[in-house]
A and B are shown apart, each in its own frame.
Chain A
């Protein structure tokens, strides 16, 4: 037995079947395989992406919490400062008001004192005049003795 026409035709028949399989069967098999590969690749990529997203979200959350903490600390500090300021301001206002009131009271006291002193001086002058007129049993001419009276009143005021 050697290479014959028979063998060559057998070879062609196999080739034909192989060609048919290549045309009809192979694409669906390779298609299924490729689709499967794609699904696996997509799945793995999606998993990676999900993991990355999760990591990002975690980092972001940490960042936000840190920021919020910093901001809260700032706000507390600000509030404390403002509170101190308000207290200082109030203290300053109160002291000024107190001083003002004291000054007003002093003025009042001075005014009242000088007025009382004037009234007293007049009254003493009248009393002295009345006493003298009774002692002399006669009218003193206020006009004629005005200088004397004035001098007397001044002395009384000075002896107070």
Chain B
């Protein structure tokens, strides 16, 4: 327990910045956020084991509760994809399901008490630990890059390389004459490049921003009783306040993490659908 004397702005700043440092190795470009990678892998493994386990044991008779729940999830995602993506693709629905579930699971790490895993890690000698992979820009941007590459792949697959490249200079401004076409080509190209570039950035920043902010608010709420001791009267005022604030924010954040996972999935499907459709 910290003493009351140790409490102060530096301590609070220290607490916050301590929470925002990744467990990493390497410097600069070669830096690896081991905590994000670890938790993402663990959650991915959980997802795979859960879904494949249920799929293996799936029965065409009366399903169990877990199978029922997963069936409902799969049907829901499948319905969304069918409504949005009009082309035929084996990949889109499973991709959307994976994106949704994995994003949700990673977001869900935010629900755990913000000090729980770092405190546990502290006992085994790990000083810094951030448990929410999606509050790490590297994770969200990595996912967005994958989506970006898939968008390009679908564009080429559905329109052919020629059609795909032609679209760069003929859309969104259509022209009839050759001269007009050549004149409009630079503008089209510029808009297209911006559009393509903005997508992964907005996709990743939206998720990252929401999760980072959520995590930060949890940390700030935690600061209410930072260094408190049972002997101090202030603890009995700030303690319940922290409980209420933590409760309200956790409840609210349940909606945010679900919504953000949903948005990430929907945008992925919409982008892919746009890439596959002819203008």
Chain A: residues with CB nearer than 8 A to chain B? 1-7, 9-14, 16-17, 20-21, 29-30, 32-34, 36-37, 40-41, 44
Residue of A nearest to B60 (CB): A44
Interface status of B35 (Cβ within 8 A of chain A): no
A2 touches B228 (CB 8 A): no
Closest chain-B Cβ to A41's Cβ sits at a distance in Å of 4
A33 touches B65 (CB 8 A): yes
Interface residues of B in 49-86 (CB under 8 A from A): 61-63, 65, 68-69, 71-72
B72 touches A10 (CB 8 A): no
Given contacts A5-B235, A6-B222, contact A14 B111 (CB under 8 A): yes
Closest chain-A Cβ to B249's Cβ sits at a distance in Å of 8
Closest chain-A Cβ to B186's Cβ sits at a distance in Å of 53
Which one of B62, B71, B113, B224 contacts A41 once the chains associate, using CB atoms below 8 Å? B62
**Across chains A and B, which 4 residue pairs bring their CB atoms closest together, nearest first?**
A13-B246, A10-B113, A7-B115, A17-B250
Closest chain-A Cβ to B68's Cβ sits at a distance in Å of 4
Chain B: residues with CB nearer than 8 A to chain A? 1-2, 18, 61-63, 65, 68-69, 71-72, 111-116, 118-119, 122-123, 218, 222, 224-230, 235, 239, 242-243, 245-247, 249-251, 254
Give the distance in Å from the alpha carbon of A21 to the alpha carbon of B250 in the complex. 11
B62 touches A1 (CB 8 A): no
Which one of A10, A14, A20, A21 contacts B222 once the chains associate, using CB atoms below 8 Å? A10
B111 touches A9 (CB 8 A): no
Give the distance in Å from the alpha carbon of A108 to the alpha carbon of B122 in the complex. 148
Give the distance in Å from the alpha carbon of A9 to the alpha carbon of B65 in the complex. 33
| Chain A residues with CB below 8 A from B243, complex form | 9, 12-13, 16
Give the distance in Å from the alpha carbon of A90 to the alpha carbon of B246 in the complex. 114
Interface of A, secondary structure class, is: helix
B228 touches A6 (CB 8 A): yes
Give the distance in Å from the alpha carbon of A90 to the alpha carbon of B141 in the complex. 112
| Chain A residues with CB below 8 A from B254, complex form | 17, 21
Which one of A7, A13, A37 contacts B247 once the chains associate, using CB atoms below 8 Å? A13
Give the distance in Å from the alpha carbon of A30 to the alpha carbon of B171 in the complex. 49
A1 touches B247 (CB 8 A): no
Given contacts A5-B225, A6-B222, A37-B63, contact A14 B69 (CB under 8 A): no
| Chain A residues with CB below 8 A from B251, complex form | 17, 20
Closest chain-B Cβ to A125's Cβ sits at a distance in Å of 125
B247 touches A44 (CB 8 A): no
Give the distance in Å from the alpha carbon of A16 to the alpha carbon of B113 in the complex. 12
A32 touches B62 (CB 8 A): no
Report 22 cross-chain contacts, Cβ distance below 8 Å, ordered by A residue.
A1-B18, A1-B115, A1-B118, A1-B119, A2-B119, A4-B1, A4-B115, A4-B225, A5-B235, A6-B228, A7-B116, A9-B225, A9-B239, A9-B242, A13-B250, A14-B246, A17-B251, A17-B254, A33-B68, A33-B72, A37-B65, A41-B62
| Chain A residues with CB below 8 A from B68, complex form | 33, 36-37
A14 touches B63 (CB 8 A): no
Closest chain-B Cβ to A44's Cβ sits at a distance in Å of 6
A6 touches B122 (CB 8 A): no
Give the distance in Å from the alpha carbon of A37 to the alpha carbon of B62 in the complex. 6
Closest chain-A Cβ to B57's Cβ sits at a distance in Å of 15
Give the distance in Å from the alpha carbon of A157 to the alpha carbon of B243 in the complex. 161
Given contacts A11-B116, A14-B250, contact A5 B65 (CB under 8 A): no
Given contacts A16-B247, A37-B62, contact A5 B72 (CB under 8 A): no
User: With A4-B119, A6-B115, A10-B242 given, can you name 7 additional A-B contacts, CB distance below 8 Å?
Assistant: A5-B229, A6-B222, A6-B242, A10-B218, A10-B222, A13-B245, A14-B250
